[in-house]
A and B are shown apart, each in its own frame.
Chain A
Amino acid sequence: MKNSLIEPQEIPSQGNDILTASFKRRSFLQYAGAGLAGVALIAAGCKKEQVSHDMGEGVDLGSGDIGILNYAYALEQLEAAFYAAVIQSPYANMPANELALLTDIRDHELAHREFFKAALSSKAIPALEVNFSSINFSSRDSVLGTAKVFEDLGVSAYNGAGKLIQSKEYLLLAGKIVSVEARHAALIRDLLENGSFANSEVIDMNGLDKARTPKEVLTMAQSFIKTTINASSLPS
């Protein structure tokens, strides 16, 4: 089900001339840029449609900035579920400093997830079902190896999504989160191999971190998510 209430309003029978097009875009921005509280207000009354989210072609992230925020929310759900499981059953002989650091990261990811959920309100996608069958939570290598994949992937996802965001407010919020993900990524890498925080696996000759499109990211993430994610309405 599309989030029709935040889509540009159709203007009946005026053809597709440029003035109409600009009006449609402007009315969309007016809504999308109204801030998080505004989004929640506009979304009121949409609840009936939410039930059909998880049917047919999977969970639809939606379009525009809301779609990108839901995309971020999906990734934060994945990370939060992972670290919650890590702390619930720590791998054998987890040193105290690793337990403290991984607990911090869990709390950050939970905070990101709960923030998106609160901010998106009724425009939020439902809770995703994860699939961690490939992870051995009793193995340090498996846990930290997976953490490395998730953190590097998260950084590249935000780096690639920034230019798809229209609202400066949302762009800044994404910026506030991505640097924390990068701090996590560096730490996890250093736990696996000291000094690998920003090695040539992730940083290119120009000193740039990776940036991935939502399609690339979701292809990589989908094996860890049971729920099918439909990103077809995301901006590109």
Chain B
Amino acid sequence: MNIVNILEEIEKVDAEVYERLNPRRAAMKQFFNFGSKVAVAAVPLALGSMFKKAYGQTGTAVAVEEVLNFALTLEYLEYYFYQQGAATAGLIPAGSPAVGAINTIRDHEQAHVNLLKTAITGLGKTPVSFTAGQFDYTAKGTFPTVFSNYPTFLAVAQAFEDTGVRAYKGQAGNLVGTPGVLQTALQIHSVEARHASHIRQMRKAPAGGGVSALKPWITGANDSGVPQVDPVYKGEDNLIQGGVNITSLGFSSNAATEAFDEPLTMAEVNAIAGLFIRK
């Protein structure tokens, strides 16, 4: 076993590993001098204690588990929503393309639930668990017709999808230490964006509510026509990316905000999701 190689591998995903291990370079050197003198068999033990120290309190595994359970909660929220919608007779216009679209989205959310459960279990952690009954899709009466009025159902769907996109985006930075998990999260993230794009088109159609101004992308802040979901779009009107004001490059405010989706923090997303979870 080559400890230098291992450290270099970790360094690729966690640039601060040396800082975590010991901020003082002299002490690091001491460790390697020590390592070269002990028997090979003893190295894993020394290595184990070194990493425990480095990652002990704010360890990578804990953070990743937290992100994955956060994502799993959102996927449950979405899955049961579409499952219930698809199973409600008369809600989605029978014989229309909407039936297939909602089924497709439902199946993706179910696949995400299963994938995340497996990933969390694989980390040796416990996935959160929800039943359909634990969700209140009227959001305590805000959307009383969510499962009886098709346009309302789609309006809530749009809020969920756009929230999902923003939620995954906000967590990407917390997954840099685990490239495989990061990539999977990104692969879910873009699927949620595809869903959002389609749901927005469905709402634009006359049967879906005829929200004619709506585009597949987010224009300005809350473009949904539903003031109750303002928190879902908070900050989407941002014009500045990486210190560059996009309008200064010759683009309209609308184009500048549409071209870049914005993240939400875990707390902001939890506040939104919390409206739909029974206490």
Contacts and interface: CB of A to CB of B under 8 A. Distances in A.
A50 B225 CA distance: 49
Contact of B8 (A19, A21, A108, A172): A21
Nearest to B255: A107
A207 B108 contact: yes
Contacts of A134: none
B94 interface: no
Contacts of B242: 35-36, 115, 119, 169, 173
Most buried by B among A118, A179, A205: A179
Interface stretch (A84-92, A138-146, A184-192): A184-192
Contact of A176 (B101, B173, B216, B263): B263
Interface in B161-179: 165, 168-169, 172-173, 176, 179
A199 B104 contact: yes
Contact of A206 (B100, B111, B173, B246): B111
B250 A182 contact: no
Given A108-B255, A206-B111, A208-B191, 20 more contacts: A19-B25, A26-B15, A37-B243, A108-B217, A111-B255, A111-B260, A114-B251, A118-B244, A158-B186, A158-B190, A163-B180, A163-B183, A165-B176, A183-B194, A183-B217, A186-B195, A186-B197, A195-B97, A195-B100, A197-B101
A162 interface: yes
A209 B197 CA distance: 15
B128 interface: no
B241 interface: yes
B260 A209 contact: no
Contact of B182 (A26, A37, A162, A181): A162
A26 B112 CA distance: 37
A177 interface: yes
Interface of B: 4, 7-8, 11, 15, 18, 25, 28-29, 32, 97, 100-101, 104-105, 107-112, 114-115, 165, 168-169, 172-173, 176, 179-180, 182-184, 186-198, 201, 215-217, 241-244, 246, 249-252, 255-256, 258-263
Interface string A134-174: 00000000000000000000010011101101101101110
A210 interface: yes
Contact of B246 (A101, A111, A160): A111
A203 interface: yes
Nearest to B182: A163
Given A176-B241, A179-B189, A18 B32 contact: yes
A125 interface: no
A186 B109 contact: no
B159 to A, nearest CB: 16
Contacts of A163: 179-180, 182-183
Given A173-B242, A198-B191, A111 B259 contact: yes
A95 to B, nearest CB: 14
B169 A104 contact: no
A133 interface: no
Contacts of A37: 243
Most buried by A among B4, B107, B111, B191: B191
A211 B183 contact: yes
Contact of A198 (B7, B194, B258): B194
A226 interface: no
A175 B195 CA distance: 16
A207 B107 contact: yes
Contacts of B193: 178-180, 182-183, 186
A218 to B, nearest CB: 18
The 8 closest A-B pairs by CB, nearest first: A207-B111, A182-B193, A186-B197, A163-B179, A179-B193, A168-B173, A208-B187, A186-B194
